[in-house]
Amino acid sequence: MDVLDKKILEMLEINARESFATIGKEVGLSAPAIGKRVRQMEEEGIIEGYALKVNHEKLGIETKAYITLVIHRGPSGTTGTQKHIEAIEAMEEVQRCDRITGDDCLCVLGYFRNNKHLVSFLEKIAVYGASKTSIILEV
């Protein structure tokens, strides 16, 4: 990966739909040369996919929050952590669920219609463990 590839990646991270011609003008290469470099980065697994950016507020999402969770211990100190993660990940409010180190076991990013919806979600996941919630004020 060279300096041009890094610049191409930077531009695609800002706008994954940017045309190869526009990127080429910026870095001094032709559109076919940009296309070849992008395909090579895809084949090498550097570019894993392309994402869509959605305005969630326009879809009625008023509250976003990070929720950390300490999973309850079962008999003999065992946990059903993987089963708990799968159950939580399947919930429609969950955008991301990461297993983390430290005092907490999971960090969940959730999107909610409002605070009442958030409270309902917290009550739903209480069966899995103790949670701490941080509401996102600004991204």
- Please state whether the predicted TM-score (pTM) of the whole model is above 0.75: no
Averaged confidence pLDDT in the chain = 92
Over the stretch 42-55, which tens digit does the pLDDT of each residue have? 999 999 999 888 89
32: buried, middle or exposed (CB in 10 Å: 19+, 13-18, 0-12)? exposed
* Distance from C-alpha of 107 to C-alpha of 105, rounded to nearest angstrom: 7
> Given 3.30.70.920, 2.40.10.10, 3.50.50.60, 3.90.79.10, which CATH number is that of 56-135?
3.30.70.920
Instruction: Return phi, psi of residue 94, to 5°.
Output: -80, 120
Fold of 3-43: Arc Repressor Mutant, subunit A (1.10.10)
Over the stretch 74-97, which tens digit does the pLDDT of each residue have? 555 555 678 888 899 999 999 999
